[in-house]
A = this chain, B = another copy of it.
Amino acid sequence: MKQTGITAPEGFLAGGIACGIKKSGKPDLAVIYSEVPAVAAGVFTANQYKAAPIIVSMEQIKSKSCRAIISNAGNANCGTGKKGIEDAKLMVKTAAEVFNINSKQILVTSTGSIGKQLPMDKIVGGIKNLKATKDGGSDMAQAILTTDTRKKEIALDMGGYTIAGVAKGSGMIHPNMATMHCFITTDAKIEKSTLQKLLKKAVENSFNMITVDQCMSTNDCVFVLANGMSGVKPKENDFYTGLEKVCKYLAIEIARDGEGATQLIIVNVSGAKNEKEAKTAARAIAGSDLLKCAVYGKDYNLGRIYAAVGATSVKMDAGKIKADMKFGEKETIIICDLGAGYARAQAWGCDMTEGYVKINADYHT
């Protein structure tokens, strides 16, 4: 049977289990494993207050090759000082022993609440029980979730090779040169430096164009592992097209599953002076609390679109700007032409509901 998730590319295995970090008893520990060394690329949160696993992975990713990503949910290992760094390294060391690979070849991530030390006894025990299998992609996708209501997975057949991805993210979503947790695997043959360049560009057009609550996470990261096992060395452009497709799919799924959301918001900005300004305007519209409330209430309120753009430094012509809102059952399309040029951009967000407030008022308790 053809694999559909993160293990669809050749040579990738995965797994996820519950090790007791989440009080709910839901899955909270995951692994992605490559049977052969892969080159790795990554982008990380621009938040200055970086979580310990991010600091460790920023170092680890410099290695020539990578074999595994180890990840937990339920606790972000952020704001945890030196102990946090030691714990992230212990997760790496334990995984190296269990999967019998060099500890330099392992990336590590955590997600969940900030400011508490990891329950390392549970995690170390959990890693020892983790199995990576060809059928484990779905369990893996489940085990990285926090307030998400559903898994986010994709596998793209590129004709001869495959690109697959898995992501989590639902709140604290306002990436900047980075994103929520997203792991991508491919069996294409590709150089590390090329992979890094293409990933950065794909992230700019996908994860960096979504927002749920304008709150930038401390634990964001996107990793790609390319193990070359298909034997196919794709053209750079073709590979980029596939990579961007995977990133956009997952980014939109994250926005659609925004905390408490009932509607995906698709913002189409045109008439901008240049692409950068188009992106800024699209993000500003997607991020406006007032607009998000209006979408929730199906309130045709163009003033909130104009006010959101006007509050930025983006060049707009107040006499020429035009906007529209189209309410669908599950998606709302916002159109805004700035009347100042010819550049376009798209951004994605979600409506703001009482559910968002409830989830985040009760997050700890």
Contacts and interface: CB of A to CB of B under 8 A. Distances in A.
A48 to B, nearest CB: 4
B215 A288 contact: yes
Interface string A276-309: 0000000000001110011011011111101111
B308 A79 contact: no
Nearest to A351: B361
Interface in A126-174: 171-172, 174
Contacts of A217: 307
Given A48-B310, A289-B289, A303 B357 contact: no
Nearest to A300: B364
A214 B364 contact: no
A293 B362 CA distance: 8
Among A176, A304, A361, chain B packs the most CB atoms within 10 A around the CB of: A361
A316 interface: yes
Contacts of A290: 171-172, 213, 215, 360
A101 interface: no
A218 interface: yes
Contacts of A319: 81
A289 B212 CA distance: 10
A78 interface: yes
Contacts of A296: 357, 361
A365 interface: yes
A310 B218 contact: yes
A216 B311 CA distance: 6
A303 B218 contact: yes
A333 interface: no
Nearest to A312: B48
A49 interface: yes
A355 to B, nearest CB: 9
A314 B166 CA distance: 33
A114 to B, nearest CB: 2
A97 interface: no
A304 B357 contact: no
Given A48-B318, A213-B289, A363 B299 contact: yes
B310 A363 contact: no
Contacts of A171: 290
A358 B200 CA distance: 39
Nearest to A354: B354
Contact of A303 (B114, B316, B354): B114
A49 B307 contact: yes
A304 B299 CA distance: 31
Contact of A302 (B79, B214, B318, B353): B79
A161 B264 CA distance: 56
A215 B363 contact: no
Contact of A115 (B174, B302, B354): B302
A357 B354 contact: yes
Contact of A47 (B114, B172, B311): B311
Q: Closest 3 interchain pairs by CB?
A: A114-B303, A297-B361, A49-B310
24 contacts: A47-B310, A48-B318, A49-B310, A49-B321, A78-B303, A78-B306, A81-B319, A113-B301, A172-B307, A213-B289, A214-B289, A216-B307, A217-B307, A218-B310, A289-B289, A293-B357, A293-B359, A293-B361, A293-B363, A297-B360, A297-B362, A297-B365, A299-B363, A354-B357
Given A76-B303, A176-B311, A352-B357, 7 more contacts: A48-B318, A114-B301, A114-B303, A115-B306, A172-B290, A301-B363, A353-B357
